[in-house]
Amino acid sequence: MRMCSIASGSSGNCIYVGSDSHHLLIDAGISGKRVEAGLQDLELSGKDIDGILLTHEHSDHIKGLGVLARKYGLPIYATPGTAGAVKAMKSLGKIDESLFVEIQADRDFEIGDLKISPFHISHDAADPVAYRIACGEKKMAVATDLGIYTDYTIDHLKGLDVLLLEANHDIHMLQVGAYPYPLKQRISGELGHLSNESAGKLLCQVLHDNMKAVMLGHLSKENNYAELAYETVKLEIALGDTPYQPGDFPLSVAGREERSACIAV
């Protein structure tokens, strides 16, 4: 299996996950041109993609969806609430409704040799989900846009080889920044986004001996930066109630504008 962040941040998200024979995108929140450039770096094209898994309908997750769907006829996997919200968005242009494939949280499905497990997340969208994907014994997950996490979340993130996890904002930067108060409350609330500190605490709950790599993603452009997210999460792990230290596994930060290194297991 491989995972690569083509883009991850508050301004746009698109993550590639695939096996030798099947290839998926999780979200398409950047331009179709940028998605195609990222795929080309992976020696793939839009013709190789077996489907787009949507987490939710916010623009930073669906911006390029219409272009890609029309150009390649790609199946769009989404919960009923997400699909309905996307279909109502005129900004995406006309998307053939037959391309939408309805999925449900907590109901697994398969695309070729990939087993996909959608699970609920706490975010201010119609019916948002995150995804856990397995190929044989290898397991990966992409979990962003988490206002809070619970034991349910932790259960779905256990036993992974690779995890891309949201570390959206630094609490202090958000508090003293220029955002209006209601927006600050939304971001830090139970339907918002995970802070760096919360990401580190969640990681402490899911680390295990066979974790191969963790990538931090969906960083805010205004209220975070890569070095701060990296160091804060490392500190939470070092101080947390866990037998692991930050150096026990590879930790990286997905770029907002550039493709990440490809993680293969």
Q: Is 155 helix (H, G, I), strand (E, B) or coil?
A: helix
Joined together, the tokens standing for residue 27 give: 């979200």
Looking up tokens 């309908």 gives 57
Give the tens place of pLDDT for each residue, 144-164: 999 999 999 999 999 999 999
Residues in the chain, pLDDT under 70:
none
Q: Is the dihedral angle over the CA atoms 167, 172, 178, 180 positive or is it negative?
A: positive
| CATH, range 1-103 | 3.60.15.10
CATH 3.60.15.10 boundaries in the chain: 1-103
pTM: 0.97
Surface-to-core class of residue 43, CB atoms within 10 Å of its CB (0-12 exposed, 13-18 middle, 19+ buried): exposed
pLDDT for res 71: 97
Give the tens place of pLDDT for each residue, 31-81: 999 999 999 999 999 999 999 999 999 999 999 999 999 999 999 999 999
Own/partner pairs for 175-184, CB < 8 Å, 24+ apart?
A: 177/222, 177/223, 178/222, 179/222, 179/223
